[in-house]
Amino acid sequence: RAKDEGRNSFQLFEPAMNARSLERLALETALHRALPRDELQLYFQPVMKAEESELIAVEALLRWRHPDLGLVSPADFIPLAEDTGLIVPIGEWVLRSACEHHRRWCEAGGAPLHMMVNISARQFREEGFAAMVASVLAETGMTPGELTLELTESMLMDDTDRALARLDHLRALGVCLAIDDFGTGYSSLAYLKRFPIDELKIDRLFVRGIDRNTRDAALVSAIVSLGHSLGLRVVAEGVESAAHLAVLRRQGCDLAQGFLFSPPLPWDEFVAAYPPAGAAP
């Protein structure tokens, strides 16, 4: 990389790279302004009981409405937000906003609904993370037991003793903890024994082929059994077809999330599709 080869390297002026770094710089500058300019928005995707297709939970998914680029995918800006540290204030905004939406749900007479919020590695490692969660819970009146924080395997493998202390701290607040994208990380199962986890979310990579591919089906079935034998709820991500759901039901998977039910929706559309007080008579 040019950066490692000294300041005078002509490679710094290699046009493609220059364009890329300028683009990144522009995106970074814009991301700094995204929060104060109110360009961030949460979308909400329903999570259903696999057996009865009943609404059980909702995952908050971040969207950035860039003034010129339009809707920017989290896959494109979360890594940048992590590198710059902007994920810390953005993540706090996400959590507060998710809890505020949950309160609106309760005020509208909605049945108990878990709110699932993605947490990034950088956020999780912040010294004051658990204290931030505690103060958002207090400020928004969120029932801790109805909040699930989604973590990833790699976050727990980094520094296991500190990770364990952080998880214990979060659990002491009463919130639930899920492992997102389960099966795609370090795939070390040792932490499942030690860590106070409530839920596994099977990555959609494994769900995609379950109706056609016996290996995918075997893997998902094994994860469901593993989860259940440890007393965990198991959620399948990326459920796109009735055939996917049929296999997951047979395998006893608890919850399902995916385009079969709904894509992530703006709050008003989510509430219109899943009226809090139940279906109109």
| Shortest spacing between CB 279 and ligand C2E, in angstroms | 23
- What is the SS3 assignment for 16? helix
240 touches ligand C2E by CB under 6 A = yes
d(CA 199, CA 201): 7
Between 11 and 154, CB nearer to ligand C2E: 154
How many angstroms separate the CA atoms of 253 and 245, rounded?
9
| Least distance to ligand C2E, CB of residue 96, Å | 12
Q: Which two tokens stand for residue 239?
A: 């459920």
Min separation Cβ 256 and ligand C2E, Å: 10
The yes or no reply on residue 118 touching ligand C2E (CB under 6 A) is: yes
Residue 206 tokens, joined? 């494994």
Which among 75, 59, 71 is positioned nearest to 34, based on CA atoms? Answer: 71
Q: Which is nearer to ligand C2E, 11 or 53 (CB)?
A: 53
User: Per rule CB under 6 A, is residue 258 in the interface with ligand C2E?
Assistant: yes
Site residues (CB under 5 A) for Mg ion, limited to 195-224: 203
Nearest distance from C-beta of residue 93 to Mg ion, angstroms: 17
- Contact between 224 and 251 (Cβ < 8 Å): yes
Minimum distance between the CB of residue 67 and Mg ion, rounded to whole angstroms? 27
Smaller CB separation from Mg ion, 238 or 267? 238
Give the binding range for ligand C2E (CB under 6 A) out of 104-112, 116-124, 159-167, 209-217. Answer: 116-124
Which of 92, 146, 153, 181 touches Mg ion (CB under 5 A)? Answer: 181
Number of alpha helices (DSSP H) and beta strands (DSSP E) in the chain: 12, 10
Cα–Cα distance between 106 and 100 in angstroms, integer? 10
C-alpha–C-alpha distance, residues 3 and 145, integer Å: 47
Count the site residues for ligand C2E by CB under 6 A: 24
For 212, other C-beta atoms within 10 Å of its C-beta total 10
Q: Which of 97, 118, 148, 262 is in the footprint of Mg ion by CB under 5 A?
A: 118
Q: Any contact of residue 93 with ligand C2E (CB under 6 A)?
A: no
Per DSSP, 126 falls in state S
Cβ–Cβ under 8 Å, residues 273 and 43: no
What is the SS3 assignment for 134?
A: helix
d(CA 151, CA 157): 11
Helix axes 87-107, 74-84, angle to 10 degrees: 130
Q: Is 140 an interacting residue with respect to Mg ion (CB under 5 A)?
A: no
CB of 33 to ligand C2E, least distance (A): 18
State yes or no: residue 39 binds ligand C2E (CB under 6 A): no
Binding site for ligand C2E (CB under 6 A): 45, 61-62, 73-75, 78, 91, 94, 118-120, 150, 180-181, 204, 237-240, 257-259, 264
Binding site for Mg ion (CB under 5 A): 118, 150, 180-181, 203, 237
